[in-house]
Amino acid sequence: MIELTDVHAGYGRIEVLRGVSLSVPRGTVTALLGPNGAGKSTLVKVLSGQLRATSGHVHLGGVHVNDASPDDLARAGLCTIPEGRAIFPNLTVAENLRLMRGDPEIVYDRFPKLGQRRRQLAGSMSGGEQQMLAFSRALVTDPAVLVIDELSMGLAPIIVAELYDVVRELAEDGVTMLIVEQFAETATAVADQVVVMADADDLAAEDLTTVYFGGTR
Ligand code: ATP
């Protein structure tokens, strides 16, 4: 469903991704780990069409991302949750959800807490609730492929567990997910496949299934 073959990408003359190949089968969860600066967010940008690969192939549900318009990617069912929670703090929970085309009731069923807070300004909620809302905005679009940058960043373990319960349910419904994760323990518990992006020197990953090389060195 997500297929990258020998992808190179970067910023100007700085090459960040140096030959990344990765395959995420339909309805599975891949966690992407790696130290700061390894290129995880860069990979997310390439997948979502924000940054063009300089070489290599990026396929998403049969769509060639490098040649696709944002509309093509939306039609292929791609939804990205960028780092830093893309929500509108000055709008209510309900308004944030209504801006995405879809049925907010799906969300209130999955996260009753958001239902109770539908009239609260998003910016006045806790960090965990805001991440739940960011995640929910993606859910109402009924995505086929969900790419999430830093799902559990800064959140209490109980909230992380709640979000990952929904991740597993989505996978069972056939949604394909790539999730940038900070914590190896969480990633290995939840993901079908764990991918580490690192310079060769940093590797200590005998218990991880797949390793790819990125970095700016
Ligand atoms: P983190 O875990 O800290 O978010 P990351 O693995 O997501 O790190 P990236 O954000 O992809 O890493 O950054 C990889 C490298 O690319 C870094 O050295 C960063 O400084 C550089 N970089 C990122 N964005 C840009 C940009 N817009 N212009 C130039 N360099 C950039």
pLDDT of residue 82: 83
The structure tokens listed for 55 are 């070489």
What average pLDDT score do residues 82-102 get? 87
The structure tokens listed for 48 are 């979502």
The structure tokens listed for 105 are 């009731």
Q: pLDDT (tens digit, 9 = 90+) per residue, 147-165?
A: 999 888 888 888 888 889 9
Q: Please provide the average confidence, as pLDDT, over all residues in the chain.
A: 86
Which ipTM did the prediction report? 0.94
Say which residues have a Cβ less than 8 Å from residue 88's Cβ, sequence separation at least 6.
Answer: 95, 96, 99, 122
pLDDT of residue 171: 93
Q: What CATH number has the domain spanning 23-52+76-213?
A: 3.40.50.300
- Give distance in angstroms: CA of 118 to centre of ligand 1: 35
Shortest-distance atom of ligand 1 to CA 10: 16
Q: Which of 49-63, 146-160, 188-202 has the lowest mean pLDDT?
A: 188-202
What average pLDDT score do residues 62-80 get? 88
Residue of the CA atom closest to atom 25 of ligand 1: 11
Pocket of ligand 1 (CB under 6 A): 11, 14, 16, 34, 36-42, 216
* Boundaries of every domain in the chain: 23-52+76-213
The DSSP result for the chain, as a single string, is: -EEEEEEEEEETTEEEEEEEEEEE-TT-EEEEE--TTSSHHHHHHHHTTSS--SEEEEEETTEEGGG--HHHHHHTTEEEE-TT----TTSBHHHHHHTSSS-HHHHHHH-HHHHHTTTSBGGGS-HHHHHHHHHHHHHTT--SEEEES-SSTT--HHHHHHHHHHHHHHHHTT-EEEEE-S-HHHHHHH-SEEEEEE-GGG---TT-SEEEE----
- Give distance in angstroms: CA of 52 to centre of ligand 1: 15
Residue of the CA atom closest to atom 15 of ligand 1: 37
Say which residues have a Cβ less than 8 Å from residue 46's Cβ, sequence separation at least 6.
Answer: 4, 7, 9, 17, 52, 53, 58, 65
